[in-house]
Amino acid sequence: MILTSIDEAAHHLKQNKVVAIPTETVYGLAANAFSEEAVQSIYDLKKRPRNNPLILHIANRNRLDNLAAFVPEKARLLADVFWPGPLTLVLEKKETIPSWITSGKKTVAIRVPDQSLTLELLQKLDFPLAAPSANLFGETSPTQPEHVVSAFGEKVPVLDGGICQKGLESTILGFDGEDVILYRHGPITLENLEKLVGKIHVKTSNQTAPEAPGMLAKHYAPKTEFYLTNDLKKLQKVFENRKIGILHFSQTFSTPSIVHQEVLSSTKDLDEAAHNLYACIRRLDESGADILIGEYVPEKGIGKAINDRLRRAATK
Ligand code: TXA
Ligand code: MG
């Protein structure tokens, strides 16, 4: 069911129902963070492991001090500059934050999304919204309402905010004393963050029990076998007897074995590439190709986040 009314979405959420909400990054599967029942429904719907904690979405940074026990100076600065926006801060949690949001951790992840409908919705609620990306665990994140409907059908009403502007999940930062740690690359780039707070330690490694399970090696994946390369023409030859789908950064080429092609940005614009990434991967997955190959984008700015998602989506 597609909702166009914010009040209707608020009504469902106040009854501890799950509603998919638009954000500037990807659609979220949202519920009242303070209702255990509501949050358990998110995990059940997504088939998400319970050891993978959720992000709290709040209306503005004044609400931060209700949730975090301690906010380091650098975190305050980052919130001042980048909120509302695609930046999640992992902070020491207040006692009042229930463990079903944080998977038992002493920290809680928080952000103010930059999406007008969802900000208005959050203003109408007296609780934060816990929301992971609105996809089944391990699958590609949704950047438009139809993607959510294809995963959850009638089970989840979707507040229609059109296509997500950024198209990639938020950058996640944590704090250790004076140190700032980057757990997930995203639309707010490492370069821009470092301009504000100095050196940041990047800790996005693949582990089985990661500190931010978005770091899981296998994630964001299409169902079709997917390989990555710096040389599409060469890899394409290896699979010549297959029906190939190709994910190009900017320029296409044709051979008889290529059955479908997608281009991230014909003008080599990395923001446009991020915006298009998940929809391109979905179309490739549904194109009838029996193997997908994609190329890395330049490893700079938001390109780091795009390459990170591509690596996790690729077949191991
Ligand atoms: O852009 C986004 O962040 C989207 C939209 C909906 O806001 N949400 C999103 O949520 O990507 P999800 O659940 O797919 O990814 C959240 C990530 C997970 O990797 C989770 O492990 C990490 O945040 N996380 C949550 N709480 C954490 C905590 N206390 N410490 C470390 N990592 C945490
Ligand atoms: Mg996710």
Please, which pLDDT band fits residue 216 given cuts at 50, 70 and 90? low
Q: Give 239 Cα–ligand 2 centroid separation in angstroms.
A: 31
Please, which pLDDT band fits residue 209 given cuts at 50, 70 and 90? very low
Please list the residues that pair with 202 across neighbouring strands.
Answer: 182
Mean pLDDT of the chain: 95
3-state secondary structure of 110: strand
Q: Give 141 Cα–ligand 2 centroid separation in angstroms.
A: 6
Residue recorded with tokens 């900000």: 119
Query: If we measure between CA atoms, which residue out of 77, 6, 302, 282 comes closest to residue 169?
Result: 302
Q: What is the pLDDT of residues 244-261, one digit of tens each?
A: 999 999 999 989 999 999
Please list the residues that pair with 159 across neighbouring strands.
Answer: 3
Residue 233 belongs to what H/E stretch? Answer: helix 232-238
CB within 8 Å of 159: residues ≥ 6 apart: 3, 4, 6, 9, 19, 20, 21, 22, 117, 118, 121
Ligand 1 atom with minimal separation from the 29 CA: 6
Question: Is 90 exceeded by the pLDDT of residue 197?
Answer: yes
Please, which pLDDT band fits residue 215 given cuts at 50, 70 and 90? low
User: Using a 6 Å CB cutoff, which residues line ligand 1?
Assistant: 23, 25-26, 28, 52-55, 86, 88, 90, 102, 105, 107-109, 113, 131-133, 169-170, 172, 183, 211-214
DSSP 8-state symbol, 95: T
Q: What is the pLDDT of residues 56-103, one digit of tens each?
A: 999 999 999 999 999 999 999 999 999 999 999 999 999 999 999 999
Ligand 1 atom with minimal separation from the 134 CA: 6
Question: Is 80 exceeded by the pLDDT of residue 206?
Answer: no
Q: Give 170 Cα–ligand 1 centroid separation in angstroms.
A: 8
Query: If we measure between CA atoms, which residue out of 48, 41, 34, 49 comes closest to residue 17?
Result: 41
Q: What is the pLDDT of residues 114-142, one digit of tens each?
A: 999 999 999 999 999 999 999 999 999 99
Q: What is the pLDDT of residues 162-194, one digit of tens each?
A: 999 999 999 999 999 989 999 999 999 999 999
Q: Which residues of 87-105 are buried (b: 16+ CB within 10 A; e: fewer)?
A: bbbbbbbeeebeebbbeeb
Question: Is 60 exceeded by the pLDDT of residue 5?
Answer: yes
Question: Is 60 exceeded by the pLDDT of residue 213?
Answer: no
Question: Is 70 exceeded by the pLDDT of residue 104?
Answer: yes
Among the bound ligands, the one closest to the CA of 86: 1
What percent of the chain stands above pLDDT 70?
A: 96
What is the pLDDT, as a whole number, of residue 212? 56
What is the pLDDT, as a whole number, of residue 208? 42
Q: Give 54 Cα–ligand 1 centroid separation in angstroms.
A: 5
131 within 8 A of 31, measured Cβ to Cβ: yes
229 within 8 A of 295, measured Cβ to Cβ: yes
Question: Is 70 exceeded by the pLDDT of residue 268?
Answer: yes
Q: What is the pLDDT of residues 19-38, one digit of tens each?
A: 999 999 999 999 999 999 99
Please, which pLDDT band fits residue 207 given cuts at 50, 70 and 90? very low
